[in-house]
Amino acid sequence: MNDNKISLYIMVLLAALLTACSGTPKEIKTTDPHMSVSEYAMLHEVVKIGLENVASDEEVTIDFGDGIVETGRNKAFFTHAYAHEGDYTLKAQTATGISLTADIHICSLPALSVAMQQFKDPSYRKVWVMAHRAHTHDKTIPENSLPAIEAAVATGAEILECDVRQTKDGVLVICHDETIDATTTGQGRIADMTYDEILQYNLRDRAGNPTDEKMPTLEAYLVAVRGRAYVDIDKCTGQGIFKEVVDVVRRTGMMEAVFFYSGVEEGTREVLGVTEDANIYPWVGGHKLLEELPRTFFVQTAYFTEGRSPSLGDAVEMGMIPSVCLLWVLDQTIPEYALDDKQLDELFNIFPTTRMIQTDVPAELIAALQKKGLR
């Protein structure tokens, strides 16, 4: 076996091990009674617990493992929210003597539907930071890669933005472009290649140099970041893959840790057509469809120099929380690997109620926000 084949074998083996250890729910195909619950959830997230193959009128006592016990007739599902992080064992006992157990891990990161409520408090002045493609100022790390996660999380960024594409064989991968030409040592359209074909090539760093890294799947990416930061999934609408994206997010227990960027009205309708419990993240214009939903939402816009920044319109009046992009890819007078303090000041002058900023240099932005008393 040559070196290339050995490396590919190791990558595939590691991916398999990662999935096996990820804590994702196991698919149970049995007619025996069992408890159905996610193996992973966020702090304060409303967790659904189902008792499968147990009579609907059966009296059940459920011990949630945190000192809370509930007794009642079996129903479609029971719900519970955990107030503290940790590992818990749920125990269910039916009146006819059936005993069921299941384990769940609750991480320290609050569910987004709860965390977002902080922005309704006028005294909450913290501005969250989103790392664009998990970038930092270190150009030797490939964008949208597993090492990029480590670097971006280390800066203290609350959210990592990533991009999703689907391969020819249906695998969801993390890549901004439709092709692998710019980001890997190979060439080709992702939609025309299998994931195994893509794994033959290595990711390039942000200076174009080959690395030893491979393009991660969406599932591997979410598992790697889980419990340490939130994720903004970009490029997830308009490709005909949104349902598949949601399936992976649910399978990894990350529905309350993921923002789904929806663009304007068309994308927002696509998200709502699949699931209404998503943490939708629209561009200005797409926010109007969210007015009646009982959640708090960010609305995205961008800072442009020379007075070209678009208006937020009525978004703030409708209760949306402004999120602003400060990105070189949108305006090349914005430095990609540094922070211009004057531009940051102007951003706040234009959008004074901004509560999240997307950047390529999260460490530098966090330091600047700390000086302003916004961290």
Q: How far apart are CA 131 and CA 327, in angstroms?
A: 10
Number of structural domains (the chain) is 2
Same domain, 57 and 104: yes
Q: Are residues 203 and 93 in the same domain?
A: no
CA dist 254 and 303 (Å) reads 30
Confidence of residue 292 (pLDDT cuts 50, 70, 90): confident
Whether 310 and 181 map to the same domain: the answer is yes
Q: What is the CATH number of the domain that holds 151?
A: 3.20.20.190
Domain membership of residue 9 (yes or no) is no
Is residue 273 domain-shared with residue 300, that is, in the same domain?
A: yes
Domain that holds residue 65: 34-109
The pLDDT tens digits for 358-371 are 999 999 999 999 99
Sign of CA dihedral 298, 301, 302, 306: negative
DSSP annotation of 268: H
- Average pLDDT for residues 302-314, to the nearest whole number? 96
Band of pLDDT at residue 8, cut at 50, 70 and 90: very low
Q: Indicate the pTM of the whole model.
A: 0.89
Are 163 and 256 within one domain?
Answer: yes
How crowded is the C-beta side of 375, counted as CA atoms within 13 Å? 18
Q: How far apart are CA 128 and CA 107, in angstroms?
A: 19
Alpha-carbon torsion, ordered 315, 291, 355, 247, to 10 deg? -130
DSSP 27: P
Same structural domain, 351 and 304: yes
